[in-house]
Amino acid sequence: MPQDRVGVWLVGAKGGVATTMMTGLASLSRGAIDPVGLVTALDPFASLGLVGFDQLVVGGHDIRSGSLLDEARSMWTTSRAIRPDLIEDAADYLAAVEARLRPGTVVASGDKIRELADEAVAAHVESPRAAIDRIRNDIVAFAAAERLARVVVVNVASTEPPPSRPIPREYAELAPLLDDDTACPLPSSSLYALAAFEAGASFVNFTPSAGSTPQALQEAAERHGVPHAGCDGKTGETLLKSVLAPMFAARNLEVMSWVGHNIFGNMDGKVLDDPRNKAAKVKSKDHLLSQILGYPPQTHVSIEYIRSLGDWKTAWDHVHFRGFLGTTMTFQFTWQGCDSILAAPLVIDLVRLVERAHRAGDRGVLEWLACFFKSPINVSEQNFSKQVAMLDEWARSSSDSFRNVS
């Protein structure tokens, strides 16, 4: 295990996923909980020298005011999703993280997200390049102050609208646009990604926002020699689609229609009330079926904000399929999962895995992380078990090389 401390810089540090992750890290660090839900706690990852939970130092950006402890507490008071004693016992940890937070940027984040921002943050006018510089400086200062060997920047902020203008494929074409507010096609999430790369930090995009997906951003990561991964954490309904659709394909059962109806009541849900933000999310949840099945069934995905559910997301899926002799049959499921509880351990997993790759000198897109994402960058394989096999294969080969090295 590395002796070095590693930084986790969260974009959207006051959100449910972020505070749940912090509460979890605090609990894991003092041995108060088992590492249930963490992929990296499974056997294949034991001998990889992944960074320890207590070696992680958390900081980040947010555009909202409000305390981390209050946000964490709402996972109990509103959602009944985390035991109150675990939250209270994490109070010191959360206070320490809070001292490391810096104001985010609302440049190019869309109206809906700007509405959520703290007044001072919303009022701060800056060019995209100025925002990048400011963010980069925050990350670099964080690494210096905490004497960190490496930093992983993770975007867990709310979903942005899709970019409204095309993004140049070459970084050289993109760079000059960064100085010009009105010409720059990059959304906020990509500004954070660029800032991370320029700070020598790796980047994980856990949201459906653009982040490091555009070609020019991928080029920037390569040039700065850092790895990155994304996008959109696969935590619930889409995970199930990527598990179930291959079964229909393998059995040559014809999926005629697949309807998914999602209801939940957290901040993410409120942001998705805006049709522009929702469009990005729905696309990310929907496209995989055709890829797995090899033909396009009729699909419908809806996402509705239902206040009383808090952080709990209920997905009802209805699959209508045709079998032998033309007989039609039906499969339905109901998934009652807690969004942040499902997402937070995956964020920790991604931090540990991306940091390990960074340490080993990997750069560019980490395609073997596909199983964590709804829309894995540069990967067309959507079958979950095949994606898991990619991860296992990496773990096996990394374990071998690790053993040879150490």
- Contact, 277 vs 311, CB < 8 A? no
Which CB sits closer to its own copies, 324 or 406? 324
Strands (E), 212-253: 227-230
Which CB sits closer to its own copies, 166 or 324? 324
Measured CA to CA in angstroms, residue 33 lies from 50, 58, 71, 350 at distances of 19, 19, 20, 19
Strands (E), 116-179: 150-155
Could you give the maximum distance between any two Cα atoms of the chain, in Å? 69
- Contact, 221 vs 227, CB < 8 A? yes
Which CB sits closer to its own copies, 4 or 88? 88
- Record the tokens describing residue 321, joined without a space: 């399929």
Give the HSE-up count for residue 154: Cα atoms under 13 Å, Cβ half-sphere. 30
Shortest reach from residue 233's CB to its own copies, in Å: 12
- The b-or-e profile of 156-167 (16+ CB within 10 A means b, else e) is bbbbbbbbeeeb
Neighbours of 251 (CB within 10 A): 9
Shortest reach from residue 284's CB to its own copies, in Å: 19
Output the DSSP codes for 166-185: PPPSSHHHHGGGGG-TTT--
Which CB sits closer to its own copies, 192 or 206? 206
Which CB sits closer to its own copies, 90 or 199? 90
**d(Cα 248, Cα 382) in Å, to the nearest integer?**
14
Which CB sits closer to its own copies, 39 or 57? 39
Shortest reach from residue 8's CB to its own copies, in Å: 16
Shortest reach from residue 57's CB to its own copies, in Å: 20
Shortest reach from residue 187's CB to its own copies, in Å: 29
Which CB sits closer to its own copies, 103 or 246? 246
Shortest reach from residue 20's CB to its own copies, in Å: 7
* 366 closest CA partner among 187, 222, 224: 222
Which CB sits closer to its own copies, 18 or 131? 18
Shortest reach from residue 278's CB to its own copies, in Å: 13
Shortest reach from residue 186's CB to its own copies, in Å: 33
* 228 closest CA partner among 349, 355, 366: 366
Shortest reach from residue 104's CB to its own copies, in Å: 25
Spatial strand order in the sheet of 227-230: 101-103, 56-62, 6-11, 150-155, 202-205, 227-230, 364-365
Which CB sits closer to its own copies, 141 or 263? 263
Please enumerate in sequence order all residues whose Cβ is within 8 A of that of 158, keeping only pairs 6 or more positions apart, or say none.
Answer: 12, 15, 112, 113, 116, 207, 267, 268, 271, 277
Which CB sits closer to its own copies, 192 or 248? 248
Shortest reach from residue 24's CB to its own copies, in Å: 6
